[in-house]
Every structure is written in C-alpha cells, then in structure tokens.
C-alpha cells in the first residue's frame, strides 16, 4: 500500500511538472494563446484575428506614442509569459530589442510588416530610412492581418481554422473600408489634397489615395523640440503659399504649437487626427476601422473650399 501511494505521488508530481512546462504554449486545452502586442493599432488587428482564443497585452496603449515609449519593469513579466510577440518593425519600436533581451522571453517575435514593401523617408541627419506607418493604407493592413493569421495558426494549430476564418471576415471589412475611403476622398477638391501635419505619418495614406504630404511640420513631432523662430516663420510662409484651408495635429502630441502655427498662417487647425495610436475605448478612433473613418471624415470636412 505504501508503495502504491508513492507511485501515485510520483505520478502526481510528474503531472504537475508537465503541466507547468506546457504553460504559455498556445491555446486549446492549455488555455488561450498569450500574446504581447507593441502598440494599440496593431492590438486591434490582432484582436480581430485572434478573437476569444488569445489573451492579449498591449504595451503602448491608446493615445500613447510608441516613438517615445519607455518600458516599465512590469513589461518584462508580460514578455516572459507570452507565446508570441507582435511588433510593427521598420524601426517603429526601437526599445523592443533591449526589452525582449532583458526579459529572457522565449516568445516568438513576429514582424507584421515583413511582407510590406516600405516607403522610404528622409530623416533629418539620418539619410533615408523605411517609413513604419504602414497601417494608414488599409490594403497594407490586410498584409499585416495575413502575418498575424499565420503566426497565430502556427502557435496554436488547434484554433488555426478559427484564425483563418476571422482573418477572412476582417479582411472583407478592410477591403470595404478602402473602397469607402476612395469614395469619400473624391469629395475633396484636388488642389486641397495636401496634408500639413505635425508628424510624418501619412505617406502610405497619401500614396494610396492621391494626397500630397508636406513634411515641413515634422519637426513639431514629439521626437523633437519646437523649431526656432526663423524656422517657424518659414513654416507659416509655406502654409500660406500652399493655399490649404487647414492643417492637422495628432492625438499623440500636444497641439499647442500647432495652434500657434495655424493662427499665424490664417488657417484652421482641424480636430486632431489619430496617427500612431488608437483613441480610448468608445471614442471615434477606438478601433482601427473607426480611426481611419474618423481621419478621412475630418480631412474631408477641413479641406473643403
């Protein structure tokens, strides 16, 4: 009898060990697949594909700026527990490499822009570099969704069919979004289709929908200090010469400088656009599709004659 109890006890210990070793290794019987996502826009794409089969943590939340994000010690723990880490790539999360390494996480890192042909932008003093803001073109977001689908299916084969189904349904919504944006843009006079923004973020949007993007205000980004008085005067002159009726701030930066520029140039400062982050839950920009629709509606209204 004692021997029998010892065998049962040994088997119980072994079972606990096996279950512990299997923790964090995908969905199905072991629970949802645990994923970490670097920023809120990407988080919404992952949520639409993963549905109830994933447990998701987003590092840079709504209205947060991934360019200036500083990880907290708790972020290490999130990475340790993750099965998959989804990142944008193209230099958008310069802090992620050090965070991932310091966490000793074994989660697979998935760069969702890997199959996107990036635009190049000229960074001040840095030469040309890839533009990471691919999500402003919904057709590029479709490519990102495919990468998410495939990564989740690999991490959690038991729910692969659900991920494929969710991705197909969401892709149909993104394709409709693209068609709707193209239709709405037609209402904007051609001469007014220039975006003066405080951050060089709409290159993919401009390429897809026939806009010009003026990067003169990019120095107002949260990554840099306000420009000098001379530089400011040049910006105002350029805006006046363009003839555009409005310029745009963004939800991840302080609009005060842009308010001054708009006043001096005699143009409207339109409501802030959602650029590098979603808005809070329940806001017009609280989802990716809602964000794009809000941005286009805001542009359409502000850029009329």
CA distance 9 to 181: 64
Domain boundary among 155, 179, 203: 179
Spatial neighbors of 274 by CB under 8 A, at least 6 apart, are 250, 251, 285, 291, 294, 295
pLDDT for 8: 40
Q: Clarify whether residues 38 and 160 are in a common domain.
A: yes
Q: Clarify whether residues 169 and 50 are in a common domain.
A: yes
Scored b (16 or more CB within 10 A) or e, 220-256 reads bbeeeeebeeeebeebbeebeebebebbbbbbbbebe
* Angle at the Cα of 250 from the Cα atoms of 247 and 252, rounded to 5 degrees: 160
In a domain, 293, yes or no: yes
Q: What is the CATH number of the domain that holds 80?
A: 3.40.50.1980
Q: Clarify whether residues 56 and 172 are in a common domain.
A: yes
Q: Clarify whether residues 197 and 221 are in a common domain.
A: yes
Q: Clarify whether residues 200 and 151 are in a common domain.
A: no
Domain boundary among 117, 146, 179: 179
CA distance 234 to 202: 22
Helix intervals (H) in the chain: 2-22, 40-50, 73-81, 96-103, 138-155, 160-185, 203-209, 229-242, 256-265, 288-302
Which of these ranges, 30-34, 60-64, 113-117, 168-172, has the smallest mean pLDDT? 30-34
Q: Clarify whether residues 194 and 172 are in a common domain.
A: no
Q: Clarify whether residues 73 and 100 are in a common domain.
A: yes
Q: Which residue has the higher pLDDT, 40 or 220?
A: 40
Q: What is the pTM of this model?
A: 0.86
pLDDT for 235: 83
Q: Clarify whether residues 70 and 211 are in a common domain.
A: no
What tens digit of pLDDT does each residue of 151-165 get? 999 999 999 999 999
In a domain, 172, yes or no: yes
In a domain, 18, yes or no: no
What is the chain's Cα-based Rg? 23
pLDDT for 225: 55
Q: Clarify whether residues 126 and 206 are in a common domain.
A: no
CA distance 28 to 13: 23
Q: Is the pLDDT of residue 18 over 70?
A: no
Domain boundary among 156, 179, 202: 179
Q: Average per-residue pLDDT in the chain?
A: 87
In a domain, 202, yes or no: yes
Shortest CA distance to 166 belongs to which of 40, 87, 174, 42?
174
Neighbours of 179 (CB within 10 A): 11
Shortest CA distance to 151 belongs to which of 8, 14, 37?
37
What tens digit of pLDDT does each residue of 194-253 get? 998 877 899 999 999 999 987 666 554 444 556 667 777 888 888 898 889 999 988 877
pLDDT-above-70 percentage for the chain = 84
Burial degree of 194 (CB within 10 A; 0-12, 13-18, 19+):
middle
Summarize the confidence of residues 260-267 as an average pLDDT: 91
Tokens of 201: 């973020």
Going by the DSSP 8-state scheme, the letter that residue 104 receives in this structure is T
Q: Clarify whether residues 162 and 207 are in a common domain.
A: no
What tens digit of pLDDT does each residue of 112-135 get? 999 999 999 876 555 789 999 999
pLDDT for 30: 66
pLDDT for 27: 52
Q: Clarify whether residues 29 and 156 are in a common domain.
A: yes
In a domain, 19, yes or no: no
CA distance 51 to 144: 16
Q: Is the pLDDT of residue 16 over 60?
A: no
pLDDT grade for 1, boundaries at 50, 70 and 90: very low
> Which residues constitute the domain of residue 120?
25-179
What tens digit of pLDDT does each residue of 44-72 get? 999 999 999 999 999 999 999 998 899 99
How many domains would you assign to the chain?
2
In a domain, 13, yes or no: no
Shortest CA distance to 114 belongs to which of 96, 95, 130, 94?
130
Which of these ranges, 9-18, 30-39, 180-189, has the smallest mean pLDDT? 9-18
CA distance 106 to 29: 21
Q: Clarify whether residues 40 and 171 are in a common domain.
A: yes
In a domain, 123, yes or no: yes
Q: Is the pLDDT of residue 254 over 90?
A: no
Q: Are 85 and 58 in contact (CB under 8 A)?
A: no
In a domain, 4, yes or no: no
pLDDT for 5: 41
């Amino acid at each position: 009898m004692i021997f029998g109890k010892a065998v049962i006890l040994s088997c119980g210990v072994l079972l606990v060990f096996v279950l512990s070793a299997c923790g964090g290794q995908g969905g199905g019987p072991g629970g949802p697949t645990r994923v970490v996502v670097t920023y809120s826009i990407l988080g919404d794409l992952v949520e639409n594909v993963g549905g109830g089969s994933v447990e998701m943590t987003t590092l840079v939340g709504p209205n947060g700026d991934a360019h200036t994000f500083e990880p907290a010690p708790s972020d290490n723990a999130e990475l340790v527990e993750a099965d998959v880490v989804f990142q944008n790539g193209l230099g958008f999360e310069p802090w992620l490499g050090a965070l991932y390494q310091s966490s000793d996480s074994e989660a697979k890192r998935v760069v969702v822009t890997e199959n996107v042909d990036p635009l190049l932008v000229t960074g001040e003093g840095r030469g040309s570099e890839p533009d990471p803001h691919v999500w402003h073109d919904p057709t590029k977001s479709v490519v990102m969704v495919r990468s998410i689908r495939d990564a989740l299916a690999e991490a959690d084969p038991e729910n692969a069919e659900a991920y494929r189904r969710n991705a197909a349904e969401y892709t149909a919504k993104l394709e409709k979004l693209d068609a709707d944006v193209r239709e709405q843009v037609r209402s904007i006079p051609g001469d007014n289709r220039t975006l003066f923004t405080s951050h060089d973020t709409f290159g993919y949007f401009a390429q897809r929908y026939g806009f010009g993007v003026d990067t003169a205000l990019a120095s107002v980004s949260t990554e840099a200090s306000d420009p000098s008085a001379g530089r400011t005067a040049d910006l105002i002159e350029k805006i006046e010469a363009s003839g555009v009726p409005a310029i745009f701030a963004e939800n991840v930066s302080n609009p005060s400088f842009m308010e001054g520029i708009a006043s001096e140039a005699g143009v409207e400062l339109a409501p802030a656009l959602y650029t590098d982050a979603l808005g809070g839950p329940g806001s017009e920009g609280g989802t990716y599709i809602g964000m794009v629709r809000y941005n286009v509606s805001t542009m359409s209204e502000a850029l009329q004659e």
